[in-house]
Amino acid sequence: MMRKKRANAEGEAAGRPVSASRTEMSEFALPQDTNLLGSVLGGRVMHLVDMAGAATALRHCRTAVVTASVDYLDFRNPIHVGELIIVKASMNRAFHTSMEIGVKVFSEDLLTGERKHTTSAYLTFVALDEMQQPTSVPPLIAETAEDRRRYRQALGRRKIRLAHRSRAGSRP
């Protein structure tokens, strides 16, 4: 059963601004999270990306969410033991029951202040109702020129995702 979208006084679906769901998390890169080279394991970074993305999706729709896809994950620079890991997530676009979230990860050397962009990812989350079935999500209100650019680009990535899913579903 689909949950109805919340409506404003005029009966239109109430939207939520991008700023209402932005998420930023940080933690130290510790030895137990690293490989033999002293760099944070990719799986640990992926976990942090997923957590920040989920928090953003939850903030937007205020209902349970599940990760549906990660269609782009790029490791640019390593994160070393002792550095601060900073994860930033933001809604790119809300569709009917799904949402695309953009996530960037940075490392910061707290002694020098040097910050590096280490990882980028796009994740899709699906909102679920009480019966764990897909449910409608509020529209996204893009507030800035950057928000609007990301909103437009998300549609192109969604088309690619859906085409890929369609092709993959037809294989034996």
Give me the pLDDT at residue 16, please.
Answer: 95
Give tens-digit pLDDT for 12-48.
457 999 999 999 999 999 999 999 999 999 999 999 9
Partner residues linked to 126 by β-bridges: 66, 98
Q: In what order do the strands lie in the sheet with 23-28?
A: 23-28, 84-94, 98-108, 115-127, 65-75
Straight-line distance from the first to the last Cα atom of the chain, in angstroms, rounded to the nearest whole number: 32
pTM summary value: 0.87
Burial of residue 56 (CB within 10 Å: 0-12, 13-18, 19+) is buried
- CA dist., res. 79 & res. 161, Å (int): 29
Rounded to a whole number of angstroms, the CA Rg of the chain reads 18
pLDDT tens per residue, range 62-106: 999 999 999 889 999 999 999 999 999 999 999 999 999 999 999
pLDDT at 134: 97
Ordered domains of the chain (ranges, CATH): 16-169 (3.10.129.10)
User: Given pLDDT bands bounded at 50, 70 and 90, which one contains residue 171?
Assistant: low
Q: Residue 97 — φ and ψ, nearest 5°?
A: -120, -5
Return the number of other C-beta atoms located less than 10 Å from residue 163's C-beta.
10
The SS3 assignment for 104 reads strand
pLDDT given for residue 170 in this prediction:
59
